[in-house]
Chain A
Amino acid sequence: MTSVGIEAFVALSMILFIIGAMGVLLRRNAIIIFMSVELMLNATNLALAAFSRQWGNLDGQIFTFFIITVAAAEVAVGLALIVAIFRNKQSINVDDLHQMEG
């Protein structure tokens, strides 16, 4: 058992998640928003790995592995979407994308 307790890891994970959420809320550049989402996923992974060690149960690490895999697929599709949107609108500012506004 390492000397660093699980609380420290979970707190770090929470802080990283909040920074990611702030990025999603505050930035208008679609790519930065997307990177912030990745940061949030990463923070969750860290918490999962920390709990996995705490209980000596491998399931947490398996979940981390799945999240990384799904994130890779998600990034590929997301970036393709951004490229497609950029071709149509010549902009990746999310405030410019309001066709679906009511």
Chain B
Amino acid sequence: MGFETILFLALGLTAILSAAMMVYIKNAVHSALFLIVNFGCVALLYLMLDAPFISMVQIAVYAGAIMVLFLFVIMLLGAEQATDAGGQFRWVTGAATVLAVVFVSVAVTMALIGLDLPESEGNDPLLRVVHSANLVDPVDITVTGDNLDEPFVIDGLIFADVSDFVTLTAGEYTVTFTDAGGVTLEDSITLENDDIITAIAYGDDATLGVLTTPIDLSPTSPSTARIQIVNLLDETVMLVDLGSNKQLDVDTGEINDRVIVEAIDFATTSETFDEREGTKTFAFYTQNGDELVSHVRLSDWLVAEGTEQLIIITADYGATTDSLGNYRPRVLDRSQESLTINAFEQFGSPKDIGNELFTTFLLPVNLVGFLLLVALIGVIVLTRPAGLRGERRATVNRRRKVSRPLVNVISQQTGRDVIEDVPRLQEPDSDE
């Protein structure tokens, strides 16, 4: 029996016991206190059900505001010991007990047998493609799969370009890159729910291939971004943070700057790492014996909080070759398309619920607002003091007029007349 089961049993039993005591106990104040215990238990159960926001609302509104209102009214009316003896409908007791026994046995049977309900399926997988291979532009991309009635086609992707995310259903897919010269490149991908996949076409002639990288959009820790490096350069590279002087600091062959990733092999993806937000200077190097070959420097690279960056270093097939016939390395500038992780909030979080409330449920939210207003007016009308209207109010006003002037009060307190011969107000005629 796991910890959660024990917790559930403890909370559930407390909830049931406090609810039963609430109904059973004679003193209304004790009833209200037992109800608060019950609401607290249910709030904790909400936490177990991935509903932290509802849990907090439950505590604030139910256990807080509503129960304070109840306790206030009970004490205001002095209804603690209100008699419960009524003679007329006592036959209800037997009927209610029979019904309760029947329903509770149904509930318990259901809990024991089980409902066999379908599980949560998660979000549909997302797929995007990046073109960084030595293919003749433009490249057409075709996605085929058993779940697709007709192939999904992305036309005219040029080098270093990235497609938008495509929402697919879980299953097996084949991604085919076809360039203008008729060369095709294909790879099969298995997509599962909640996957967010980037398929990258890479390489040159012999090394052509497709690399798929999953993207992790779970929340990052505060003030950090999550970065992942994809190396599509035909060498093993390392990533160095050059720091504030923006120079590589080498001392007897040792690099003094922070090496973020030691070695990324060709056509592999590095582990994701968390990087503090800020403007950075990154550089890619290759260790060639004792020599460090610099590839690309990323100056003023913006690392924004709560984003997911996929930095792809590749040979720049889009540009001309150098004197030795090699392509220069290049980083595909993915910073503009870095994904905001916070957009994919956790289930049941305040942001998630707020987003739903003010998009899909905007009209009901407005209606509830009006309802609360109407309730407010209703309460004011209902609790208006019964006597204060018509003639009574007139008398109150008249009495106010004959109250003694301030001068009299002062003269009484100081013991001497402030003004000689204070004019006295006439007492009003009672028959008036």
Contact = CB atoms under 8 A, between A and B. Distances in A.
A39 B35 contact: yes
A70 interface: yes
A27 B4 contact: no
B92 interface: yes
A22 B22 CA distance: 11
A51 to B, nearest CB: 8
Interface string A67-83: 01111111111011111
B48 A2 contact: yes
A70 B371 contact: yes
For the side of the interface on A, what is the size category?
35 or more
Q: Could you tell me the dominant secondary structure of chain B's interface residues?
A: helix
Contact of A72 (B35, B65, B115): B65
Nearest to A34: B70
B16 A83 contact: no
Contacts of B118: 55
A7 B114 contact: yes
Interface string B1-20: 01011001000100110011
Contact of A27 (B16, B84, B88): B84
A87 to B, nearest CB: 7
Given A4-B4, A66-B368, A22 B23 contact: yes
Interface string B237-248: 000000000000
Given A62-B356, A83-B77, A42 B49 contact: no
B348 A26 contact: no
Interface in B348-390: 348, 352-353, 356-357, 361, 364, 368, 371-372, 374-376, 378-379, 382-383, 386
A68 B62 contact: yes
Nearest to A46: B42
Q: Could you tell me the dominant secondary structure of chain A's interface residues?
A: helix
Contacts of B73: 31, 79, 82-83
Interface string B42-78: 1001101111011001100110011001100110110
A21 B83 CA distance: 20
Given A7-B110, A49-B54, A83-B382, A31 B8 contact: no
Nearest to B19: A19
For the side of the interface on B, what is the size category?
35 or more
A6 B117 contact: yes
Contact of A50 (B49, B87, B92, B347): B49
Contact of B49 (A3, A9, A11, A86): A9
A65 B82 contact: no
Contacts of A3: 2, 4-5
A55 B120 CA distance: 4
A5 B114 CA distance: 8
B38 A42 contact: yes
A57 to B, nearest CB: 8
Given A23-B22, A54-B117, A12 B16 contact: yes
A56 interface: yes
Contacts of B38: 16, 39, 42
7 contacts: A5-B114, A14-B103, A14-B110, A22-B100, A55-B118, A75-B66, A93-B83
Given A14-B104, A25-B92, 9 more contacts: A11-B110, A19-B100, A26-B23, A31-B28, A46-B45, A54-B117, A56-B120, A72-B65, A76-B69
